[in-house]
Amino acid sequence: MVAETVGVASAATPGLLRRVEAVVFLTVFLDLVGFGIVIPMLPFYVQSMGGSARTVGILLGCFSFTQLLATPLLGRYSDRHGRRAVILLSLLANAVAMALFALASYRLMLPLLFASRILAGATSGNIAACQAALADVTTKETRARAMGRIGAGIGLGMVLGPTLGGLFSGLGPWVPPLLAGGMALVGFLGALVAMPETHPVEKRAAAKSQTRWAALQDPSRRKALGLVLGLFFAVFLSMTTLQVAFALLVQARLGWGSKEVGYTFAVVGGLGMVIQGGLIGPLSRAAGEFRLLLCGALLLACGMAGLAVSHHAIPMMVAVVLVGIGTGFLQPLISSQASQVAPPSQQGAVLGLAQSCGGLARTVGPVASGWMYASWSTQAPFLTGMVSALAAAGLSVLLRRETRDDAER
């Protein structure tokens, strides 16, 4: 078992960075395999248990509400006690959550399905600790590329998860989540052996002496941090539309089922994997992070508008590609910005708070999307997603001005 603490002097060692990146990549990949397996087919699972579109929204809202509560707590815990323990605990809990999902699918028990998603929401709070671990061992110049590795893990998980869900759902609805749980258990054993502690003891001591809201109380960081938190909320509010309403939309307009929806989500995940795994570093150096932020938000807005008006497969897939490219740019860059406005001893807390704002959007968004789809029109959730993406574009412009002003001061 590896439990040594990485010191500041070794933080830039290429071998160390590759090792931390590998474990973090594996952790978020396994989280998103479980997420990707169930999300495209979740409406069909719920329908088989007697639920409706509103039930789907509430179920996803429960997941996100639990994530909202857990993420800042786990981020702050990682500041005070280290990143490794949080990552190990979350992988083990993920395996348990997926086992509960498999049992719910086998027995057609909707309450047990809710219990599974609530535990999975708490499990997914590990992303703040994963991002903080990378922030511990990277510099400002290399952070966007490193955060892109997390995005690549998310993208690969979203490719493999829906694909596995589509392929293995024919063997029984309980098979894909059980497979995801087994993978999470393997990931736990791998992290137990390979993950070093990246957060030095002296920084943990400094975090213990600070209050939970220390970063928000710093006048020099408050406005920039507020803009970053707004970005997280706006981006994830737009993205949740796809998770809730897309399967229902294409079923109604195109007659697609769980397999076609799963493959479509795999396309989105594949785009994210390519962009965040290999392109985001060179692109951010060439164009600048803020230009890519703005570009990603505008592409996401165009994709949401396209989904709202498309009634045929080709324009629908063009819109999906725009959404995939936009989110591929946005996810690592907003995390990079959050880590840059955070004090060194508060990385986990600030990243956790940022993810919590995303969790708030994922709590409100699914419920609102399900309600709008059922009560207003099939277009309403996607038009709302477009407006949220445009709000993210505006916030990225304001954040650029604020950070430029701070640099000049």
Q: In terms of domains, do 80 and 134 share one?
A: yes
Q: What are phi and psi of 218, to 5 degrees?
A: -85, 110
Q: Are 90 and 126 in contact (CB under 8 A)?
A: yes
Question: Is there a single domain that holds both residue 343 and residue 224?
Answer: yes
pTM: 0.65
In a domain, 2, yes or no: no
Going 82 to 195 to 115 to 258, the CA torsion angle's sign is positive
Distances (CA, A) of 12 to 24, 130, 337: 16, 17, 20
61 and 367 in contact (C-beta within 8 Å)?
A: yes
At 1 the pLDDT is: 42
Domain that holds residue 97: 13-201
Judgement on whether residues 180 and 222 belong to the same structural domain of the protein: no
pLDDT digits (tens, 9 = 90+) for 95-137: 898 889 888 877 777 888 888 888 888 877 677 778 778 877 7
3-state DSSP helix/strand/coil % of the chain, to nearest 5: 85, 0, 15
CA distance 222 to 219: 5
2-29 pLDDT per residue, tens: 444 444 434 446 677 778 888 888 888 8
pLDDT tens digits, one per residue of 222-268:
788 888 889 999 998 998 887 778 888 888 888 887 778 877 877 88
Q: Which of 201, 222, 253 is the last residue of a domain?
A: 201
Question: Does some domain include residue 61?
Answer: yes
Q: How far is CA 219 from CA 1, 334, 335, 354, in A?
A: 42, 21, 21, 18
**Residues in contact with 389: Cβ distance below 8 Å, sequence separation at least 6, in sequence order:** 234, 235, 238, 297, 298, 300, 301, 304, 326
CATH number where 329 lies:
1.20.1250.20
268 and 399: one domain?
yes
Residues 176 and 290 placed together within one structural domain of the fold: no
Tally of domains within the chain: 2
Q: Please report, to the nearest 10 degrees, the dihedral formed by the alpha carbons of residues 79, 338, 65, 56 taken in order.
A: -140
Structural domain ending residue among the three candidates 201, 225, 246: 201
